[in-house]
Structure 1
Amino acid sequence: MEDYGLNDIVEMKKEHPCHKSKLWKIIRMGADIKIKCQGCGASVMFDRTEFERKLKKVIERAPREEM
């Protein structure tokens, strides 16, 4: 499975019904993952296994903070 993180831009297998964008931004990560449509701003929450099943690819990675 591809590596993904908070604030990454991802593409899902199916686009959002608004048809404005196929891209989503990861806005919350934990046991559940919340993503936001880059076209209309709607957000959807998935459990991690469902998200990984529906994920197509990571388009853009957000800069990671070093500890």
Structure 2
Amino acid sequence: MKALAAEGYTMVVVTHEMDFARQVSNEVVFLEKGLLIEKAPPEKFFTQPDSERVRQFLQSSR
């Protein structure tokens, strides 16, 4: 998948692997119970999320 992303392929990937998502994504989307909670470029998503729920999730996944 990393090779495909490097070649510019468009993919929709569902993962709980945060390091992988950070490395290969152009945009990260956080869904909970079918609702869009946050959508942002990976650098913003992982360093300055707008949502308290996303901050909690990222803390628990470390």
Tell me whether the two structures share a fold, i.e. TM-score over 0.5.
Answer: no
Greater share of residues in helix: 2
Give the alignment's TM-score, normalised by structure 2: 0.38
Give the alignment's TM-score, normalised by structure 1: 0.36
> Looking at both structures, which has the greater relative contact order when contacts are Cα pairs under 8 Å and sequence separation is at least 6?
1
